Amino acid sequence: MSGTQRRTDRYYASAENFYETKLVSNPEMPRYNHLMAAIQSEKGCVDKANSYYRTSIAAQSGNVMTRNDYAVHLARAGRKEDAIHELKKALLISEKNAVLQKNMAATLGNVGQFTKALEAATTAGHLNPQDPMNHRNLARIHAALGDAHSSLEHNLAAIRLDNPHAQKNPVTTAFRAAAVQIIAKGGRRDEAFALMDQARQLERKTFDLPTSVQTHEIIQKIKRRHGQSLADIEKQKQAEMQKLLI
């Protein structure tokens, strides 16, 4: 067991003892049942988490974020239809909650209900247009529905909105690479090169497409070899680049 894991276990044990003490005097206290549920969920104790969540919700049925967290817990446990059911209940209370709409979109997408997922994610986007996670949800949903252009636009929006720390993680890099692929296939190569160079600087990883530096080298190689007109150089450049894309 790593030192980090031991510290985490000690934290959970300390928190559990504290919350259990609080619940002795008031077993139905919503806040501490919610917090206990969250700890049990993180520990993988699904049944215990369910019990605490249900107690918290029964004591304070109008708390939409408890229902949201319960839905996230259910989805992680593989009970996605139950998660959707809980999110629907929460949305009846707070329809204009961006977090609820975003999580509904993600859960619907995970069960293949892409049209309904798109509706929820679009609503979440109207409520909070600056959320990169929702843009990633929209990118996945549009891709599943066959709309490559919209998928690209939301990929790019997510990249722009991610904070500097998030931009360095593998998830963002994967989306950046996907965006580059779509841009290149759509002929927007300059934009693709800019994203490619940025991704390489962040992750030091190699992708399938040439960078702007490689493109410049291709042009110079053709020019030195043939001394051709700019139009001919452009044609040969495209041919050379196409080889790199195959």
pLDDT in tens, 14-48: 878 888 888 888 889 988 899 889 888 888 899 99
pTM of the full structure: 0.67
Contacts of 163 (CB under 8 A, 6+ apart): none
Question: pLDDT per residue over 157-180, tens digit each?
Answer: 887 787 655 555 655 565 666 666
Structure tokens at 84: 């959707």
**With 0-12 CB in 10 A as exposed, 13-18 as middle and 19+ as buried, what is 223?**
middle
CA–CA gap between residue 71 and residue 129 (Å, rounded): 23
pLDDT at position 141 over 80: yes
In angstroms, the CA 202 to CA 123 distance is 32
Q: What is the 3-state secondary structure (H, E, C) of 36-67?
A: HHHHHHHHCCHHHHHHHHHHHHHHCCCCHHHH
Half-sphere exposure of 243 (CA within 13 A, CB side): 8
Label residue 164 exposed, middle or buried (CB < 10 Å: 0-12, 13-18, 19+).
exposed
- Residue scoring higher pLDDT (233 or 61): 61
